[in-house]
Structure 1
Amino acid sequence: MDTRAARFNNNFYPEGKTRSKSIRIESVDSYFEREPLISPFGFKGGYLSELWQPVSYLRADSGNHAIGLGTQSVLWSDAGIFSSYSESGGNALMYLLTERALQMLKNTSYTSPVDLIDALYSEIYQYGIRITGNSSLRKTFALNALVSVDNALWLLYAKENGIRNFDQLIPREYSSAFSEKHERVAAIPLISYNVNTLDIRSQVQQGYFFMKIKIGQAGSQQEMLQKDTERLTEIHNVLKDIRTPYTQSGKIPYYFDANGRYEEKETFLRFLDHAKKIGAFDQIAIVEEPFPENCEMDVSDIPVRLAADETAHTEADTVQRIAMGYKAVALKPIAKTLSMTMKIAKAASDRSIPCFCADLTVN
């Protein structure tokens, strides 16, 4: 282990942190599978044709072992890396970060995965900057690479401590953020750029009543706005007269995800103006990440609820977005690790900001 890994090992635990059972990682391994998609999946102005599914293996000196699964999404985590490399090249770079993290964990000890995530993420993020040659690498690229590793850490932690359900898994300091219990869970279909209206109608007929619609299509800002408004009109014409017993208005709610494609507030307001013009505005429940990460402005004057997603990398980023006027947070344990998601959920819960799960496409 090099000196960087050794320094990392010394910083696993914050001062004053109570240690419980210590788990020593004796050996590690990794693998990945390439999953071709039935059809290209369009969002963020690009298209995916396959998903890499990394597998992380950890074995403790007690003999217990755990296998953590993940899903890589280079386009979601850093569109700049996706456009700078081939699809396989971008995935290979992310997988190198996963392998690096596993090698750093070999022959180290931990008591809780949450104690590891900040130091592990910090090292892997810097490593990602070096191997991509991109000093502006998005934080989510490193977090996405750590998901299978973090999952393996949690599963090994559960085995070592005799934990058999998710509620027991959550550390006490984060339990308040996960205390709400729902009687029902709604399945929300994802309508990407190339889903046709016949398929949308079929989804409603199958019982789906809450639509997540990708906006922010490819092209210049003017071209994007034109495509998005035409797409909204097309979808609204299919859904506007359909009724559901699951909403107060009886109408199908719309959940838009722009993935940071709108560079100016004025452009996004023009999209909302079009929604008002065609009678779709009142059906907008939430809009996720309309603006890019570097667009740090007050959004409290926008007349719909905005949710932070990619820009809420960590709990500190989450607090910043809430201060800017974002009124919801999308949780992504499959994209940002369960450990970081717990921290993000706690930061939002402490400020009375609702969270919802809107994770990556998985196998």
Structure 2
Amino acid sequence: MNQKNNVTRRDFVQKATLATGAASLGFTNFMKAQGRGVKSKSPLSIDSFKTAFQREPLINSYGFKGGYITRLWQVVSQLQDSSGNKTIGLGVNAPLWSDSKVTSVWGESGGNSAMFNLTCRALQMIEGQSFETPIHMVEDILDEVWAYGTKITNNADLRTTFALNCLTSIDNSAWMLYAKQNNIASFTDLIPDKYKTAFSYRSDKIASIPSISYSTSIADIEKLKDEGYFFIKIKIGAPGSQQVMLEKDMQRMEQIHKIFSTELAKTNPERKIVYYLDANGRYESKGTLKRLLDHCKKIKVLDKIAIVEEPFPESLDVDVSDLGVRIAADESAHTDTDALKRIEMGYTGIALKPMGKTLSMTIKIAKLAHDRNIPCFCTDLTVNPVLVDWNKCIASLLKPFPGQDVGLLETNGGQNYRNWETMIGYHPMGRAPWNQTQNGLFTLGQDFYEESGGVFHELEHYKSLFED
């Protein structure tokens, strides 16, 4: 059963303590830059807030990063300005992904509770404040939010992504409020002018990338092939010691490739199978990863691997330019500064997580990567249907990934949420044509761009969480 918890400024202390213990518009008419004869944009102004969460159960435990999750907290933040404008922003807590050390100490529920507490604290910080843009809001509060997180988790080395993840619903709501305050009605117009060059493409198709975790059954893997999916994400870094992990990963690659080795002659003859491996930092040495890649070459899989994402722990400062495959950064690219460091280490791809590390930070990272000719792609975090379309808005504007003629978007909510069909109903345009996958592709017509994926429509289900 979904759980509901509301926090207003007045009862923050009581509700945040409980959480710690247990846990509209479209995007158009964006103002041009100052100095072009157009009225400058109004700053983001925040008067008050409310926040709530719902726990959504998964069909099965979802395994990655050497651990498992069983449910995902859907966090909802409502912001209001002095004129009475109200907006809803969504986020999904991901403590295992953002900092596995927290969940190893506090467990799944404890990690989620700490995250929600941090969200509440961040909302306190922005109440009654104004910021030039949501990007400036995130920049202004991130350090203090992170510092508060180190205290409540008792983890002095808390990863920055943990704090960013806590800010996602707030950032999402802030962009919506900023849009209302400036009469913005389309996603492409929402992006500030200085960042637009990174989002200048317009895709008519995006690859829908499913995710195969440790616990995905053979029957479900075969179903993916039968449905024509061709760009496949595989969670490597199985639980156990480094040797046990390597052996399990080798076996898993053989198992999966045996299913897909006949290609897609019947279901999707125009496409070839592509693998995308995600280690979530589980490989502790370059030598161990090389052994996996050598095995992939032996079983004739290496040439099908387009991406190896986040293979090493963030603390491992190692050049990856000689591994013979495209190495992409995800969790370690917390900010644009961190992304630059990874690029200098030989990383040649960046996984963007707008709904995991805030849209604001994603915009900055994408611009940095674009300026250095580093391709980006959009990944999921097992988000709800509304946030899938936020991700889609970003993915649709990125250049096609090298070797592909389409953009990339990982989305695995439909594979994992027990109540996915119900959650689709929470999205006003959840059953729009652009949300239907055919042969592993989303088709984006003019309606998608005119509606900005439907993300600006009122979210009645989530609004109802704040009704008395």
TM range (shorter): over 0.9
Post-superposition offset of 1:198 = 1.9
Q: How far off its partner does 1:247 sit?
A: 9.1
Q: Is 2:178 the counterpart of 1:160?
A: no
Deviations 1:255-288 (A, max 9, x none): 1000000000000000001101111111111110
What do the CA deviations read for 1:98-135 (whole angstroms, capped 9, x no partner)?
Answer: 00011111111123101111121111001101111111
Is the partner of 2:347 in helix, strand or coil? coil
Residue equivalent to 1:13: none
Structure 2 counterpart of 1:301: 322
Q: Equivalent residue for 1:103?
A: 124
The structure-2 alpha-carbon separation of the partners of 1:243 and 1:30, relative to structure 1 and needing over 3 Å to count, comes to same
Is residue 322 from structure 1 mapped to residue 343 from structure 2 by the alignment? Answer: yes
Distance of 1:86 and 1:20 partners within structure 2: 44
CA drift of 1:246 comes to 7.4
> How does 1:189-208 map onto structure 2 within 5 Å?
189-208=210-229
Q: What is the CA-CA distance between 1:241 and the residue it aligns to?
A: 1.4
Aligned to 2:193: 172
Residues 1:231 and 2:233 aligned together: no
56, 61, 64: which one aligns with 2:82: 61
Identity %: 53
The residue type paired with residue 227 of structure 1 is: K
Aligned amino acid, residue 45 of structure 1:
G
Partner amino acid for 2:233?
K
**1:121 corresponds to which residue?**
142
Instruction: State the alpha-carbon separation in 2 of the partners of residues 223 and 239 from structure 1.
Output: 24
Give the secondary-structure state (helix, strand or coil) at the position aligned to 1:204.
helix
Q: How far is the alpha carbon of 1:251 from its aligned partner?
A: 3.0
Equivalents in 2 of 1:286, 1:118: separation in Å?
30
Find the residue that maps to 2:87 and give its secondary structure: strand
> Taking structure 1 as the reference length, what is the TM-score of the superposition?
0.93
2:154 alignment partner in structure 1: 133
The answer to whether residue 54 in structure 2 is matched with residue 33 in structure 1 is yes
Q: How does 1:241-260 map to 2 (within 5 A)?
A: 241-243=262-264, 251-260=272-281
Q: Tell me the amino acid that sits aligned with residue 175 of structure 1.
A: K
Give the deviation of 1:86 after TM superposition. 2.2
Structure 1 segments (4+ residues) deviating >6 Å: 245-248
| Bigger relative contact order (CA 8 A; separation at least 6) | 2
1:182 pairs, out of 203, 213, 238, with 203
- The one-letter code sitting in structure 2 at the alignment partner of 1:217 is A
Q: Give CA-to-partner distance per residue, 1:182-241, whole Å, 9 cap, x none.
A: 120111111001112221111111121111000001000000001000100111111111
Structure 1's 20 and 253: CA in aligned 2 closer, same or farther, altered over 3 A?
Answer: same
Name structure 1 gaps, 5 residues minimum. Answer: 2-16
For structure 2, the 5+ residue unaligned runs are: 1-8, 10-33, 385-468
Tell me the amino acid that sits aligned with residue 97 of structure 2: W
In the TM superposition, residue 333 of structure 1 has moved relative to its aligned partner by 0.6
Instruction: Check the 8 A contact 1:240/1:251 in 2, yes or no.
Output: no
Tell whether 2:97 aligns with 1:72: no
Structure 1 residue 359: Cα displacement: 2.1
- Distance in 2, matches of 1:154 and 1:266, equals 44
**Measured at CA, do residues 163 and 72 of structure 1 come closer, stay the same or move farther in structure 2, by a change above 3 Å?**
same
Letter in 2 for 1:341: T
| Alignment length (residue pairs) | 347
* Bigger mean CA offset, 258-267 vs 199-208: 199-208
Q: Who is 1:216 aligned against?
A: 237
Q: Which of 126, 148, 168 is the matching residue for 2:169?
A: 148
CA distance in 1, matches of 2:369, 2:223: 36
